[in-house]
Amino acid sequence: MKASIHFVVSVLFIIGFKVYAHQNKKHTESRKPHVTKEKLESINNLYSQAIQPIFKNKCLDCHGGPSQFPWYHRLPIAKQLMDDDVREGKKHLDISSGFPFKGHGSPLDDLKAIEKVVKERTMPPMRYWLLHWNCRLTKKERLAIVTWVQQSKKILREGL
Ligand code: HEC
């Protein structure tokens, strides 16, 4: 009798633990999207219609484009800061050609990073838009970018 109670308790314990462990498992890892050329192409189509013009104006200077520096780039400290930004920015994300972007992230990583900086309004960096007032993203532009990111993530996950 005692042994069977012990058995039942152990089984329940094991089941309970498995359910618990399963809940804690990161599902995102097992659901890595299967990236195909077609998916990337349709994301790039959406990108070039709606997003590329925004990125060209507001992001490209530091993310892979030929930098068009303002006059104060000639001042020693400003030059140093700007050159650092351009080097760092390009390393993180290079948007000089279409999607998928160059840089160190996978397409999904890049989309997530873009969504994050746009929602948190951390790009362009503040030190930059303090000087170029009109380089900040407008509300409309932020909405367009986030919508594109969401459409693109869906395409990556679920196909066309
Ligand atoms: C003044 C230069 C500059 C401009 C303009 C700029 N960025 Fe950046 N960006 C950087 C630098 C520098 C980094 C890397 C260091 C950091 O995160 O501050 C970066 C990093 C990023 C990252 C990677 C963040 C991460 O967590 O890996 C994303 C995504 C990004 N920028 C998107 C954008 C977008 C979108 C725009 C335009 C709306 C933009 N940036 C405009 C300089 C810039």
Among 60, 93, 108, the mutation site with the greatest number of ligand 1 atoms within 8 A of its Cβ is 93
pLDDT at 21: 52
At residue 31, the pLDDT reads: 64
Answer whether 43 contacts ligand 1 (Cβ < 6 A).
no
Q: What is the mean pLDDT of each run of 10 residues along the chain (160 residues)?
A: 57 49 50 87 97 94 84 86 89 94 90 97 84 82 98 91
Tokens of 29: 């890892």
Residue nearest to ligand 1 atom 36, measured at CA: 59
Nearest alpha-carbon partner for 82 in 91, 73, 94:
73
* Ligand 1 atom at minimal distance to the Cα of residue 127: 1
Distances (CA, A) of 49 to 99, 127, 145: 12, 29, 12
Burial class (CB in 10 A: 0-12, 13-18, 19+), 160: exposed
CA–centroid distance for 57 within its chain: 19
